[in-house]
Structure 1
Amino acid sequence: MSSKQFFRKDLLHPRYWLTWFGLAILWLWVQLPYPVLLKMGDVIGRASMRFLKRRVSIARQNLKLCFPHYSDEQIDKLVKQNFSSLGMGLIETGMAWFWSDARVRKWFDVSGLEHITAACDKGKGVLAIGVHFMSLELGGRVMGLCRPMMAMYRPHNNKAMEYVQTRGRSRSNKAMIDRRNLKGMVKALKSGEAVWFAPDQDYGPKGSSFAPFFAVPQAATTNGTYTIARLAKPALLTIVLYRKSDGSGYQLVIGAEMDDYPIDDEQAAAEYMNRKIEHEIMRAPEQYLWLHRRFKTRPPGAPKLYTV
């Protein structure tokens, strides 16, 4: 479990100089006014399509699989919007790590704060279900300003990036928990903590069930939510941050507690959670991480869905 980070002299090793240079550029970059950053994110994201052709192909395939009723024109439009959101996501990472609390507060509204307050007031842990929107990094910072919590994450291989990432994420939150540390997560929940967890990606066949996701009838869906729910008995609710379409900032939405989660049926639980995730994605589908090969894992004998 990582919380307060202390700077170590070994982080000044020449192997990290390029990392520090890039982070310094990002720090300078995010000092610009938000409307300027928004325009820059759009330009950078769309330009990146020329160099990320494999990711363009993956995003297009994901959208075709999930929304087969969309025309080619609609798919192409969503792909371009998705890469525009990707460019802004890079900038939002710098905003999350380097902006002051006061500046972050200026750019978001929140609805449903009473839901997590009520759940925490019951004295039990809260498992906050999130999705991988491009603004995910900023979402953690914003949620922490409303109610500090913990979050599952994958430690960075670069020690300098790990230091800055964890320090930035802990500015308004309590701690980060390695996603492989199930015991630590359950312990935190049992002690009454709120912990963020995103079960919306393909984590491979181990510990997964195949459940419908949009128009894909069998998508590998982690059973992590089900396992944690049975072990820790937390309240479950959704938390997402999405970018407002009018450029006026962000909306943090906290859902009501899920009082109908099928705690005794693993398959039904996977299907239930995918429906919840679909609902959250449709708040701003162009901002979701369609670049991830969500349907890489297939049932035995099923054809592959990607050619790249």
Structure 2
Amino acid sequence: MTSKQSPSSSKYFDRRFERGLLHPKHWPTWLAIGLMGVFAFTPVRLRDAIASVLARVVFRLAKKPINVARANLGCCFPDKSSQQVELLLKENVRSFVMVLLGQAELLVRSTAYIRRRVALHGFEHVEAAKAQGQAIIFIMPHVWGIDYAGLRLNLDLSPMVTMAKAHRNPLFNWFNNRMRSRFGGNVYMREAGIRALLGELKQGNSFFYLPDEDLGPKNSVFAPFFATTKATLPVVGRLASVGNAQVLPIKIGYDTQAHQFNLTVMPAILPESMAGKEQEALALNQAVEAVISAFPEQYMWFLKILKTRPEGQASIYQ
């Protein structure tokens, strides 16, 4: 089944189903999606138990990403012992598999189920911003439960938009963006640029932004990040100022005992703390640190978040 897109949405990801997605080369991906669909209706306690077993296998096989994660943790937390780092890595992989096995539930389960699955706290900060007639820029680093956060907020705050990089697998691309836009949100391609996001903010729509990605040295500013420094792109402050928006950090973590996500909207970052590029980079990194520190085992440590280094410093990824 296909749906038409207006010219104004040409920079959104195309969510239409194309016949090419049925090509035999995509059959392994269809199998994976089918399995995820089965797990979406599997009792959560059983699914999490299966994930814990599978995580041990993933930990042994995923050597490259785990080496990247080990480098990140060593740089950010030099005081942690090797035993502490390895324990955190094992918990990190376990969190990843738990989220992965359940992710299809965001596409196929009811809204009432998703509300129960993700407990929302701190929504009064959103209501306060809306009462003042302001749009909202939610900032959240790359944590495993990020799609749960976006979809849960979208239930009570629509429309919302975000920006993402295309997946190399077109079927997973279609699947992910159908899921992320289920409740009326839109996912922009990176090529859309800042102007598209500014236009959304000026219409009062909310924007979901991930400030922790390393986008290279161009326009980035180095600021403290845990025990090291990180290249950060300071664009949020200007977007908020021009788009009349508040910047609200959010954190989410999975409670493996209650088998439920806890999503918290945190107080707004004060505009004066983002005055100037250096100050904004510092404020963003501090917000990212606070979110990661709440659930350090649930952050995507396998990303090369410290790829850009200050002049004279060698890469940490060998």
Same fold (TM over 0.5): yes
Q: Please tell me whether residue 271 in structure 1 is matched to residue 282 in structure 2.
A: yes
CA contact (8 A) 1:141 1:173 kept: no
Q: C-alpha deviations, 1:30-82, integer Å up to 9, x for none?
A: 21101111122222223211111122222122112111222222111111111
Q: SS in structure 2 opposite 1:282?
A: helix
Aligned-partner Cα distance in 2 for 1:219–1:241? 22
Aligned with residue 13 of structure 1, among 9, 18, 23:
23
Look up the match of 2:314.
303
Aligned-partner Cα distance in 2 for 1:116–1:180? 28
Q: Which amino acid aligns with 2:37?
A: W
Q: Please tell me whether residue 145 in structure 1 is matched to residue 145 in structure 2.
A: no
CA contact (8 A) 1:199 1:224 kept: no
Q: SS in structure 2 opposite 1:49?
A: helix
Aligned with residue 127 of structure 1, among 127, 137, 149:
137
CA contact (8 A) 2:118 2:262 kept: yes
CA contact (8 A) 1:35 1:247 kept: no
Q: Please tell me whether residue 26 in structure 1 is matched to residue 36 in structure 2.
A: yes
Tell me the TM-score normalised to structure 2 length.
Answer: 0.89
Shift of 1:259: 2.3
CA contact (8 A) 2:12 2:187 kept: yes
Matches within 5 A, 1:1-308: 1-2=11-12, 5-148=15-158, 149-181=160-192, 182-216=194-228, 218-307=229-318
How has the CA–CA distance of structure 1 residues 12 and 210 changed in structure 2, closer, same or farther, with 3 Å as cutoff? same
Aligned-partner Cα distance in 2 for 1:202–1:3? 22
Q: How many residues align?
A: 306
CA contact (8 A) 1:107 1:250 kept: yes
How has the CA–CA distance of structure 1 residues 186 and 290 changed in structure 2, closer, same or farther, with 3 Å as cutoff? same
What's the Cα RMSD here? 1.9
Q: C-alpha deviations, 1:114-151, integer Å up to 9, x for none?
A: 11122123222211111211111222222222323222
Aligned-partner Cα distance in 2 for 1:258–1:13? 48
Shift of 1:245: 4.3
Could you tell me which runs of 5 or more consecutive residues in structure 2 were left unpaired when the two chains were aligned: 1-10
CA contact (8 A) 2:36 2:102 kept: no
How has the CA–CA distance of structure 1 residues 27 and 58 changed in structure 2, closer, same or farther, with 3 Å as cutoff? same
Aligned-partner Cα distance in 1 for 2:204–2:91? 39
Q: SS in structure 1 opposite 2:196?
A: helix
